[in-house]
Amino acid sequence: MTAQLLLQPDSGLELHPDWWRGAVIYQIYPRSFQDSNGDGIGDLRGIMERLPYIASLGVDVIWISPFFTSPMKDFGYDVSDYCDVDPMFGTLSDFDALMATAHRLGIKVLIDLVLSHSSDQHPWFKESRSSRDNPRANWYVWADAKPDGTPPNNWLSIFGGSAWAWDATRLQYYQHNFLSSQPDLNFHEPQVQEELLNVARFWLERGVNGFRLDTINFYVHDYELRDNPPLPPERRNASIAPAVNPYNHQEHIYDKNRPENLEFLRRFRAVLDTYDAAAVGEVGDAQRGLEILGEYTSGGDKVQMCYAFEFLAADPPSAARFAAVLRHVEHVAPEGWACWAFSNHDVMRHITRWNLSPAAARVYTTLMMCLRGSVCLYQGEELGLQEADLHFDDLQDPYGKQFWPEYKGRDGCRTPMVWLQDNQNGGFSHGKPWLPVAREHLNLAVDAQERAPDALLHHYRRAISFRRAHRALMRGSIGKLHVSGDVLSFHREEAGEELFCAFNLSHEPASLYLPEGTWVTVGQELNSSGSGEDGIVHLGPWQPCLVVKR
């Protein structure tokens, strides 16, 4: 398939006011996507060069992880200038050229806004820490020590240790949910909220179609700085922080997830609506992720989409697990809109995490494209890239260095994209890549898979195309969830179209009865099974059944 074949109208998505609903979003981690100047670090011009490939996948939107000016202590998630491009990634002119190219190819652009915290090198923080009475003194979360000199409360950092760091100039602690070089902004200060809304306006004026909002539930802290209660061991979940991190020992009801956050999200949505833009929020909470998703996407006055971590967890989702999550979403987010992901830049790649065979990888992909909600794909998952196994000396991620070797950090999912099989750097860079290219990835390179008709890359294209061809999958309701052994089934309906979707999530064959009615098999290109005698469907291992009602 060539890029030219997909430069066609996008089956009505462009004209629909809720263009984000049901969209397939492709996440780009810019450091590792394509290097255009040989310095070993991916950049904006590199992304622009590869946009025809992205268009060939049939996706609707790209999400670009942070490229703003930054000291790179957390690889761009520590911003020192929200309204400029870090020189390692290029210039604002490069960004404008990327935007123009993406839009010409029919691809919308979301950029990653990190609003909960900045870098300690941001001019706002430098001024804030200079005294207790400067104009920005209250722009960050400052607090006095307890009488014994210890931190104000028991809040912990996701990156380990206390969430408080001592500042010798102000003689106070400041809060940091992440690295100590990432101080948290104070959303109780009206000027902070207004300045962050101005940041959003700056990029919307440049034509972006919206934002991925990093750690959206971390914005507001408890004004009274109350201690978090302990979390019983049976409720601990390592989907947000590794099990070796004591962050999992607390119920995080005061350092994040505050109800005051909803009013800021309403203000943010009002800005989005002015530009017909959309946002997807990252909900980082192991216990209440779906409930928060429901709160933040309800009512049409907050963000349009959120994704939680239910399918970013370590255990492969069984039929029963999928059904439980989908039913819970129906209960806590009946008005809301989920955005599903199996992999991203913060978790082990799902091919490795779930130990998937090629057949299993295909059926999970097909299943994801049939879920109600939007979809986020992470660069390289369409190639079936495994988690790269790096030596300690190659690590760049401070999170991995902190908890090595029990937790190896996030570098294994951030190694460079592989474009060329017969190139030691996979066609990513002419220089030494910032992270080594995994040798085992080279045989999965784009050019090798383009030549192989049965490659996973082509399955992703077919699955995305199938989703876009059925309005019931893009925007329809989901119902009649059923689990029989390892088989998950449900109905999708919209505007007179009804699909029955069933998936055998097992290496054993299975059978099921089609619902009453006349059904026609679709999705044969996705290995869909048709019905046999008396409406019985025989599913092979890891096989779907996709039928539409006549």
Which sequence positions are flagged as catalytic? 214, 282
Listed residue (464, 379, 304, 463) closest to 62, CA to CA: 379
Listed residue (27, 29, 93, 97) closest to 60, CA to CA: 27
Q: What type of residue sits at position 233?
A: P
Q: CA 68 to CA 88: how far, in whole Å?
A: 10
Residue pair 81/69 in contact (Cβ under 8 Å)? The answer is yes
Residue pair 457/383 in contact (Cβ under 8 Å)? The answer is yes
Listed residue (298, 366, 368, 376) closest to 337, CA to CA: 298
Q: CA 455 to CA 229: how far, in whole Å?
A: 49
Residues forming a β-bridge with 305: 280
Strands 172-175 and 544-549: unpaired
CA distances from 317 to 356, 486, 495, 528, 550 (A): 11, 11, 30, 20, 32
User: Is the backbone of residue 122 left (phi > 0), alpha (psi -120 to 50) or beta?
Assistant: beta
Q: Return the number of other C-beta atoms located less than 10 Å from residue 178's C-beta.
A: 23
Residue pair 168/129 in contact (Cβ under 8 Å)? The answer is no
Q: CA 100 to CA 117: how far, in whole Å?
A: 30
